[in-house]
Structure 1
């Protein structure tokens, strides 16, 4: 894998303003990998694809790598790899959760997450402050790119890709589990304003078939959307549409992390087709 160049936010902003496409790299604090091939009205995002934890935090983290992987969203970066503009988070949500507001982005020492004790002790002020610097860097990059898109496009559509575990209680074939394979969280957005786009997107996704099984697509059945959805629904209610997409982890073994490449390829292909359909 090639070494990617590191850029400050100011350098990225300058390259965007000068239309220096294509561009790719990582942010100065290592929070995100970005790839901007050409200007587009869509942006692919994988907030929980990352698994990195800086060494000083790893030393006080109680959650094993295997446990972290299970609650992260591995391989979701692949869903947006063909987007002309994409931002991929590199750090684990167990260090800081980008889909929560800044006040709640660091999991508490006193509260378990998914039944897991995250920290061996309370974090120091210095540890918290550096973590928040990383959190801010990612979100400032995202805001910068959205502003850039809105400079030439009437709306910016963010494809915010996540995944969820379905075998917590028991191991079963995915098609025997009653929950949808794809959930779109729209609870916070201006649903009426964006109805044509949302309805067309859902309809297109519902055409997906995997191993002769029809993929079930639902709206707000599993998750209503997270912080990203709420944030931009509040600040840009009619110009930024965040499509918070949750995939059931049928594209991998959620216990071992093993990837099911054929299933993943089908889901990625049909996400791109749905994206292109609503952008016509």
Structure 2
């Protein structure tokens, strides 16, 4: 399977990503991995691609984050130690051979190079939004233990910490209000803060790119068995799709450019 793909209609200014949905591994990586597949699946974000399936432009990643994590900086993208990845021992020898590591980083590099070409085209047209869809576990004590507390586990943990609030607050509010109106418990960065993808976009496209991370609690699946709830997944997909309209309206109502956006456009053109 190809590592990632860009699908749908990219003529608009809204993109959805599911960069942790993948479970595939290169054979040479799979051969060196001692982590049990069920443990790996539990720490991936399965079915987040389904949550974004009704959106027009999508980035689908098919490789596991345990090969190279696209939401971590390049130097941290390949998990080297248990403390990098929830205490798991991942590799048979305790580390990857340098040639295998290099090929995993080539995958990381190729993803961001390909994404650059896509987003440069959007940025040349004006401001754009990315819905970066993730999920998180809320039953870590065990499959037969009570769920973790509601207070620290919102249904939707919204990550906007890297966004230019002065420019994009109407866009953030449009997403939050639409999801809340649909009955979602939406709170900001209770468990997570945006990482590599968001940071990279906001550095490269200041005043133009707006990445909002949607971390859904895994109420749409059993995080221990990996079995999905198809009905709940459909509800989430419809809800995210419904939010696209207000977000796009808010985006279209923004002033055309800022100084930062003009600087970014000049740099891309050059």
TM-score by length of 1: 0.83
User: Do the aligned partners of residues 183 and 55 (structure 1) sit closer, same or farther apart at CA in structure 2, a change above 3 Å counting?
Assistant: same
What residue in structure 2 maps to residue 143 of structure 1?
116
Corresponding residue of 1:192: 166
Shift of 1:264: 1.3
**Alpha carbons 1:157, 1:242 under 8 Å: kept:** yes
Shift of 1:235: 2.1
* Aligned mates of 1:173, 1:63 — CA distance in 2: 25
Deviations, residues 177-227 of structure 1 (Å, cap 9, x unaligned) = 332100111112212221111012101111224xxxxx2101111212111
Alpha-carbon contact 1:166-1:177 (below 8 Å) kept: no
Per-residue CA shift, 1:27-78, capped at 9, x if unaligned?
xxx2202213351111110010000111111111121111111000000001
1:110, CA displacement in angstroms? 6.1
CA contact 1:61–1:119 (8 Å) conserved in 2: yes
State how 1:1-280 maps to structure 2 within 5 Å.
Answer: 30-109=2-81, 111-121=83-93, 122-152=95-125, 154-169=126-141, 171-172=145-146, 177-178=150-151, 179-209=153-183, 215-280=184-249
- Map of 2:262 onto structure 1: none
Structure 1 unaligned segments of length 5 or more: list them.
1-25, 210-214
Q: Select the structure that is richer in helix.
A: 2
- On the 8 A contact 1:111/1:117 being kept in 2, the answer is no
Please report the RMSD computed on the Cα atoms of aligned residues, expressed in angstroms.
Answer: 1.7
Q: CA deviation at 1:165?
A: 0.2
Distance 1:87 1:62 in 2: 29
Instruction: Write the distance in 1 (CA, Å) between the matches of 2:214 and 2:31.
Output: 33
CA spacing shift, 1:271–1:110, aligned 2, 3 Å: closer
